[in-house]
Amino acid sequence: MQESSKSDSMIAMMNINKGYMLGEEKVPVLHDICFQVEKGEFVAILGPSGSGKTTLMNIIGCMDVLDEGSYFLDGQPIHEMPEKRLNDVRNKEIGFIFQNYQLISTYNILQNITMPLIVRGMTTKEAEEKCMDTIRLLGLDHRMKHKPSELSGGQKQRVSIARALVGEPAVLLADEPTGALDSNSGKDVLKLFKDLNDMGHTIVMITHDLNVAKSAGRIVHIVDGCLKE
pLDDT at residue 131, as a whole number: 95
Query: What is the reported pLDDT for 229?
Result: 78
Residue 5: pLDDT over 60: no
- Calculate the alpha carbon distances from 151 to 1, 209, 226 in Å: 44, 25, 39
Average pLDDT, the chain: 94
In the CATH hierarchy, which fold is given to the domain comprising 40-66+81-228? Rossmann fold (3.40.50)
On the question of pLDDT at 89 being above 90, the answer is yes
Its sign, for the CA torsion 8, 197, 165, 215, is negative
Distance in angstroms (rounded) separating the CA atoms of residues 56 and 66:
9
CA dist 24 and 22 (Å) reads 6
Tell me what the mean pLDDT of segment 29-53 comes to.
Answer: 96
pLDDT of residue 4: 40
Interior/surface letters 163-197, b for 16+ CB within 10 angstroms, e for the rest: bbbbbebbbbbbbbbbbbbeeebbbbbbebbeebb
**8-state DSSP, 178:** T
pTM of the model: 0.92
What is the mean predicted confidence (pLDDT) over 61-88?
95
What radius of gyration do the chain's Cα atoms show?
Answer: 18
For the chain, give every domain's residue range.
40-66+81-228
pLDDT in tens, 131-173: 999 999 999 999 999 999 999 999 999 999 999 999 999 999 9
